[in-house]
Amino acid sequence: MKNYILPFCLFAFLLFACETDSYEKGQGKYSLMLADMGEITINGEKQAVAFTTDDGDSYTLTSPVTGQWIQTADTTYRAIIYYNKVENGQAEYMGLTSVPTMIPVEHWRIKEQPQDPVGFESAWLAKSKKYINLGLLFKSGYVDDALGMHIIGVTQDTILVNADQTRTAYYRFLHSQNGMPEYFTNRHYVSILLPEELPDTACVTIVTYSGIVERRFGLK
């Protein structure tokens, strides 16, 4: 199983301030800023140079971006990207929030399948049909003066052939509270990476504090 650990003390990489210096004019550095979920392209020098949103819009950054969050060269990072549009398909980078991406694994390959509850806010299919995105609420707390970590993943239970010969893939969201106390709540977004050969529909179930939530998505 490929687990994605959420170190909540390091999770947010939001790099812009909340204040501007242009309130009198009604336009400031951040007043026209956009936020989109998408993929950031990293070059061979560990610089962010471009990104593509889930709506399919592609931009080149006005200048390469470096940062400690870039750990691997020649790769792609998934994030909520904050930016200002400029001319000729370019964008000014303003910041990002990391979005963990989970790869479904067949259920029989996973020895432990924790389903500790989370809070559920939203689920939607990216226009590219490459990802199912989840907006979730995690309860967190400090353990020995350090902020603890949640462990998440997704299992693929089965792919059923329906009476009309369409196929439905069934996914379950896995979550371990990992012994963390539940003192406060944080909102985070995570993505499920869908296979290249898509089924006709996908069904995702999530154990929440209010019961089991099920969401279905048409993929074709």
164-189: pLDDT as tens digits: 999 999 999 999 888 888 888 989 89
**Torsion region of 154: left, alpha or beta (phi above 0 gives left; psi -120 to 50 gives alpha):** beta
> Which segments of the chain have a pLDDT < 70?
1-31, 145-148
Side chain identity at residue 38, one-letter code: G
Residue intervals of the chain classified under CATH 2.40.50.500 are 32-98
Which pLDDT does position 145 carry in this prediction?
A: 61
Which pLDDT does position 28 carry in this prediction?
A: 54
Residue intervals of the chain classified under CATH 2.60.40.2370 are 101-218
Q: Which CATH architecture has domain 32-98?
A: Beta Barrel (2.40)
Taking alpha carbons only, the member of 162, 167, 164 closest to residue 199 is 167
**Cβ–Cβ contacts within 10 Å for residue 18, how many?**
6
Which pLDDT does position 140 carry in this prediction?
A: 85
Q: Any bridge partners for residue 63, and if so which?
A: none
Counting Cα atoms < 13 Å in the Cβ hemisphere of 76 gives 7
Which pLDDT does position 201 carry in this prediction?
A: 97
Compute the distance between CA of residue 101 and CA of residue 137 in angstroms, rounded to an integer.
16
Q: Which fold has domain 101-218?
A: Immunoglobulin-like (2.60.40)
